[in-house]
Amino acid sequence: MSEQTIDRRPRATGFAALSFRERRRRVVSRVMIGGTGVAAALTVLPLLLIFYHLMRAGLGSLNPDFFTNVPAPVGESGGGVGNGVLGTFLLVALAGAMGLPVAIGAGIYLAEAEGGRLPNAIRFITDVMNGIPSIVIGIFVWAWIVVSVGAFSAFAGGVALAIMLLPMVTRTTEEMVRLVPRELKEGALALGFTRWRTTLGVVLPAARSGILTGVLVALARIAGETAPLLFTAFGNPFWSSDLGKPIAALPVQIFQYAISPYEEQHRQAWAASLLLIALVLAVSLTARFLIRSPYRSR
């Protein structure tokens, strides 16, 4: 009906001048599109500002000593955060070794189990865990490990970070495994593969780059955590790689420098922040790179 009505109107023979209504629609559209662009710019602005500020305040303190030395005694200039870098790597490695196998396994379970009461309960709990403030995790591990052992330790710090890692990696793994086309899974099952062989040999390789990305993002995230380490790894002004002793960590060092009254330590805090953000950025870029896998596109 409506088409016929339109057909009866005289046909336009060219592009007439825009009516007021048409002009208004065009302006509104442009303003709105422009608005979203501004919002996008505002989103990335903080990162640029952070970078700018860290460069200005911290770049001056970056020197070879800064990477290789332990902090100088209070009142002396120089010194570095080499022990903090080592400590952060150790803590993240420890957390990864403890948390990743569990989290990836749990993610696979959730993806394979789909519905059902138990999987849904686990899904809900991981969401809750994701929302637990990190300081609470720190206190929990302090009460649970540090108090019972009677000492702050790198191990306790690793446990706290592993607990933070669990829900993040579980959920990203689940999502990535779910993205694998059902047909691919059925193809393997129809060949007489067991479910485990199907998961290990076909589903996981197809989801590999996605899972890896999730893992790296989570590792980068926990590398910057301060709160869970305050009462667990505690920090240490000296070199240490003993898992049973307190250990230095970059974020903890930044925190301690930042609250100290000394100008020199403030400068060190800025430099350490710059270093930390550079490390996180490097991990994120690696994750980006890994997304491209050989048999994916085409």
Partner 1 sequence: MQQTYSGAPRAGAPLTPEAATPMQQTATQQTATLAPAQTAIEADDFSFWYGSARALNDITLQIQEKRVTALIGPSGCGKSTFLRSINRMNDLIPGIRHDGDIRLNGESVYRQGLDVVQLRKRVGMVFQKSNPFPKSIYDNVAYGARVNGLAKGRRDLDDLVERSLKQAALWDEVSDRLDRSALGLSGGQQQRLCIARALAVQPEVLLMDEPASALDPIATQKIEELIYELKDEYTIVIVTHNMQQAARVSDYTAFFYMGSLVEVGRTNEIFTNPREDRTEAYITGRFG
Residue 58 burial (10 A CB sphere; 0-12, 13-18, 19+): buried
As measured in angstroms, the least distance from the Cβ of 177 to partner 1 is 14
Task: Give 153's Cβ-side CA count (13 Å radius).
Answer: 18
Q: How far is the CB of 83 from partner 1 (least distance, A)?
A: 44
| Shortest spacing between CB 207 and partner 1, in angstroms | 10
* Distance from C-alpha of 47 to C-alpha of 184, rounded to nearest angstrom: 40
Three-class SS of 176-211: HHHHCCHHHHHHHHHCCCCHHHHHHHHHHHHHHHHH
Q: In the complex with partner 1, which residue's Cβ is closer, 208 or 245?
A: 208
> What contacts 24+ positions apart, CB below 8 Å, involve 73-76?
74/260, 74/262, 74/265, 75/262
Q: Which is nearer to partner 1, 202 or 252 (CB)?
A: 202
* Minimum CB distance to partner 1 smaller for 112 or for 264: 112
Backbone φ and ψ for 26, nearest 5 degrees, come out as -65, -40
Work out how close the CB of 208 gets to partner 1 at its nearest, in angstroms, rounded to a whole number: 10
- Smaller CB separation from partner 1, 78 or 205: 205
Residue 51: exposed, middle, or buried by beta-carbon count in 10 A (0-12, 13-18, 19+)?
Answer: middle
Nearer to partner 1, 101 or 181 (CB): 181
Q: Which is nearer to partner 1, 38 or 190 (CB)?
A: 190
CB of 291 to partner 1, least distance (A): 15
In whole angstroms, how close is the CB of 178 to partner 1 at the nearest point? 14
Nearer to partner 1 by Cβ, of 37 and 201: the residue is: 201
Which residues would be at the binding site for partner 1 (CB under 8 A)?
114-116, 181, 183-184, 186-194, 197, 201-202, 205-206, 294-296, 298
Smallest gap from residue 179 Cβ to partner 1 (A): 13
Question: Minimum CB separation from partner 1 for residue 4, in Å?
Answer: 31
Decide whether 191 or 285 has the Cβ nearer to partner 1: 191
